[in-house]
Amino acid sequence: MNPVIESLRSGLIVSCQAMPHEPLHGSHIMQRMALAAEEGGAVGIRANTPDDIRAIKDSVSLPIIGLYKKRYPESDVYITPTMAEVEAVVEAGADMVAIDATLRKRPDDQSLKDVVSMIKHQYPDHFLVADVSTFEEGKYVDDLNVDLISTTLSGYTEETRDIDGFNHHLLKKLTEICHKPVLAEGRIYTPELAKDCIIYGAYAVVVGSAITRPQEITERFVDEMTL
């Protein structure tokens, strides 16, 4: 296995993301978050937008899963939706590129299969992370030329919107059938759950909000304290 992928095994990947409406938005802040994650023992960083990726690349030596969230009116696909965003993520210095790997209509009307082959053809040295929401999507993409599969979108698509919390069931099913390493991602709020994900067979665990979104962390405390 490639040393970059190998370095992620059984480790914690910290997603450092803040959208424009969030209090911690800003590449400098995400760079500090990523530094803190590195200091704490993370094995990788997941980051959104070319600016954040560049800033993090400047000061952190961990491999970066880059993505670029962009909304197009004609499609619900927003995680690195077209080749233009893939190119921007690669140019910014990401080692891996995460894309929406659901079977939904894409903004440029390309099929997922074609997008995956284009990316691997154009960027053969970059690793491709397929963000899925269901078992069927994971099974489908496992046969394409992707390097890792992540449970990122479970709970965020029409088909899965009733799923609340981390989807253990999806992780277990994917780790059973997929030939590619599977990342556990999405609403993993505790170290205990992250450890369980590794026990269930996750190759590595991606944690975002529980580490890097203090407004959400505060909210969970406040909710829990409401008698």
Ligand X SMILES: CC(=O)N[C@H](C=O)[C@@H](O)[C@H](O)[C@H](O)COP(=O)(O)O
Q: Which residues bind ligand X (CB under 6 A)?
A: 15, 17, 46, 67, 152-153, 156, 185-188, 206-210
3-class DSSP state for residue 28?
A: helix
Tell me how far apart the alpha carbons of residues 193 and 71 are, in angstroms, rounded to a whole number.
31
Contact 76, 67 (CB under 8 A): no
* Amino acid, res. 112: L
| Angle of helix 27-40 versus helix 50-59 axis, rounded to 10 | 40
Dihedral of the alpha carbons of 47, 129, 184, 218, in degrees to the nearest 10: 20
Q: Which residue has the tokens 């590595």?
A: 204
Q: Which residue, 112 or 163, has its beta carbon nearer to ligand X?
A: 163
Q: Give residue 172's Cα distance to chain centre.
A: 18
> How near is the Cβ of 53 to ligand X at its closest, in Å?
12
> How near is the Cβ of 156 to ligand X at its closest, in Å?
4
> How near is the Cβ of 227 to ligand X at its closest, in Å?
27
* Amino acid, res. 32: R
Nearest-CB residue for ligand X: 208
Q: Which residue, 98 or 119, has its beta carbon nearer to ligand X?
A: 98
Residue 16's nearest CA partner among 73, 62, 82 is 62
- Count other Cβ atoms within 10 Å, centred on residue 187: 18
Q: Which residue, 3 or 47, has its beta carbon nearer to ligand X?
A: 47
Q: Which residue, 180 or 187, has its beta carbon nearer to ligand X?
A: 187
> How near is the Cβ of 147 to ligand X at its closest, in Å?
17
> How near is the Cβ of 64 to ligand X at its closest, in Å?
12
> How near is the Cβ of 213 to ligand X at its closest, in Å?
7
Contact 105, 81 (CB under 8 A): no
In the numeric block, which tokens belong to residue 61? 């030596």
Tell me how far apart the alpha carbons of residues 60 and 78 are, in angstroms, rounded to a whole number.
26
> How near is the Cβ of 197 to ligand X at its closest, in Å?
11
Q: Which residue, 52 or 185, has its beta carbon nearer to ligand X?
A: 185
Q: Which residue, 3 or 192, has its beta carbon nearer to ligand X?
A: 192
